[in-house]
Amino acid sequence: MVMGRSGHAACVAQLHAMAHAASAVRTRASIGLVNVSPVFFSYVGGSDPALKRRPAWLAMRYAVRNGRWRYVVRNGLACGKRSWIIGVSLIQQTERTVVQQFFLSLGNRLCRLDLAPDGAMREVDSLDMPCNIQYACADAARGLLYVVCSNGGVASRGDTHWLMTVAVRDAAMRLVGESVALRYRPIHVALDRAGHQLLVAYNLPAAVTVHALDDAGRVSEFVAAAEGQDLVGWFPHQVLPMPGMDAMLLTCRGDDATADRPENPGSLRVLRVSRSQPRDATLVQVVAPRGGLGFGPRNCGFHPTAPWLYAVLERQNGLAWFRLRPDGIAPELRGTVTLLERPESLVRPQLGGALAMHPSGRFAYAVNRSHAVVPDGDQFVWAGAENSIAVFRLDIETGAPQLLQHAPLAGLHARCIDLAHGGHLLVAAIRQPSARRVGHGIESCPAGLSVFRVAADGRLSLLRHHPIDVAGHQIFWAGAMPDATST
């Protein structure tokens, strides 16, 4: 199996051209030859029935997609009659070379870090926004981050609110396009599945807005809005594009009863932008078990391959699930399981938090969070509430989550979690510094990023905690840039 000189020379020339082009791409990954070994050739040549009689390029992509080959190849060339392949690897999946971008907010500062597969992190740069960052979402294909910020906060509405677009592929992050003034303090932002629109949720007052994007990803115009309890419910906390339909899901937490007012009900709401009245979003469906009383969803996630919707119930410390239909959500609640390890020993405030769905569809991760402290001498220490990640195995047939583990966190109140490196790592952002009593002493627990290894069975093991000096701020948002290069 030897190529002729002319075919070999042509392949090498093409390889050099691709390598030159790849060197201009900021990937922080190595560029190298694909291994044309007998083992690899056996994949292409057809020893695996699944690959037999496939063209070399299709076989290569199939092997990557099913985890049978270590390289993600973005450019390849089939050369000669025997389908030899030479190519350029823009991302080599080895623990020494691959990094993934990770972002966090500290007040108005957006920080970018490199996250390695072994859990190591390195700060790359930072960029100041006009006011405090509330949330962000990524467009990996365009290398953009959409950031919503406000001078308001949890306890105040504020009067200055912005939607910013940040380019993150270059050596230094930079703002692109026009800054867009928003009506209210934004609490969540998401990109639609086609990459054509941004969805922004607001909780005070309750509202949602839709903004169009041009081909370059810049915010081009306002499209639609909906506000008021009749349309968007009580305390919208998250907005997501619905899978399989041109609509959005608004997750509405509701509010617990107080001495002055009754409980405000929670709900899941499906809205659509009308083509006949494009500036108004219309309500398609409301799902509110028991009228929404005792139902407080904060964050939702869709199963990647099966028709299941999961909702973390912040006020009830539970994980609920529903079946999806082609036209929306089946209204029947399929079930609820507790997030807590010790539900009988509740220390308030105790809240359900962020939700991360594993890309395999086999596992879900939900945060137990609390900032409850008690005085201990001249300090305040943890009050004994639960700060952990509840790990669930998902039954693809019934949707039912089965508890596998409670992974303890190294600090109070992880506001955000995210999966990285294809679901092999999970990062939890510890919002604020704290202290806890350990035996006869008091241990300092800095804010920062806790990186966990995700095992094959879904369980978590702590790799390292990266302490961060928040300088009086909080890690209010954190998240990974999805890998746009994976096949």
**Mean pLDDT, range 353-382, rounded to an integer:** 97
Query: Percent of the chain at pLDDT above 70?
Result: 78
| Distance between CA atoms of residues 47 and 64, nearest Å | 16
| Residue among 222, 228, 334 nearest 283 (CA) | 228
- Identify the pLDDT of residue 75: 37
Element (H, E) at 197: strand 197-203
- Identify the pLDDT of residue 461: 99
**Mean pLDDT, range 354-361, rounded to an integer:** 98
If pLDDT is split at 50, 70 and 90, which confidence band does 278 have?
low
- Identify the pLDDT of residue 23: 38
Residue 486 has pLDDT above 60, yes or no: no
Residue 32 has pLDDT above 90, yes or no: no
User: 49-58, 113-122, 454-463: lowest mean pLDDT where?
Assistant: 49-58
- Identify the pLDDT of residue 97: 54
- Identify the pLDDT of residue 154: 86
- Identify the pLDDT of residue 149: 98
Question: Per-residue pLDDT tens for 57-107?
Answer: 333 333 333 333 333 333 333 333 333 333 333 333 444 458 999 999 999
Domain borders along the chain are 100-480
Residue 215 has pLDDT above 50, yes or no: yes
If pLDDT is split at 50, 70 and 90, which confidence band does 29 have?
very low
**Mean pLDDT, range 180-206, rounded to an integer:** 97
Q: How many residues does the chain have?
A: 487
Q: How far is CA 101 from the centre of its chain?
A: 12
Which DSSP state fits 263? P
| Distance between CA atoms of residues 147 and 137, nearest Å | 7
Burial 286-307 (b: 16+ CB within 10 A, else e): bbbbeebebbbbbbbbbbeeeb
Tell me how far CA of residue 311 lies from CA of 117, 321, 415, 425, in angstroms: 29, 6, 16, 22
**Mean pLDDT, range 192-201, rounded to an integer:** 96
Which DSSP state fits 471? T
Residue 51 has pLDDT above 90, yes or no: no
| Distance between CA atoms of residues 461 and 453, nearest Å | 5
Whether the upstream peptide bond of residue 349 has omega within 30° of 0, thus cis, is yes
Question: Per-residue pLDDT tens for 104-151?
Answer: 999 999 999 999 999 999 999 999 999 999 999 999 999 999 999 999
What is the overall mean pLDDT for the chain?
A: 84
- Identify the pLDDT of residue 279: 78
- Identify the pLDDT of residue 28: 35
Other Cβ atoms less than 10 A from the Cβ of 78: the count is: 18
Better-scored residue on pLDDT, 93 or 462: 462
Residues 6+ apart with CB under 8 A from 285: 269, 270, 327, 328, 329
- Identify the pLDDT of residue 197: 95
- Identify the pLDDT of residue 45: 35
**At the topology level of CATH, where does 100-480 sit?**
Methylamine Dehydrogenase; Chain H (2.130.10)
| Residue among 421, 481, 422, 485 nearest 138 (CA) | 481
Strand bridging mode 100-106 / 328-329: unpaired
Which DSSP state fits 349? S
If pLDDT is split at 50, 70 and 90, which confidence band does 4 have?
very low
If pLDDT is split at 50, 70 and 90, which confidence band does 483 have?
confident
| Residue among 223, 322, 337 nearest 272 (CA) | 223
DSSP 3-state of 366? strand
| Distance between CA atoms of residues 307 and 310, nearest Å | 10
- Identify the pLDDT of residue 408: 98
- Identify the pLDDT of residue 336: 98
- Identify the pLDDT of residue 8: 46
Phi, psi of 294 (to 5 degrees): 70, 20
**Mean pLDDT, range 272-280, rounded to an integer:** 74
- Identify the pLDDT of residue 60: 38
- Identify the pLDDT of residue 122: 97
- Identify the pLDDT of residue 341: 96
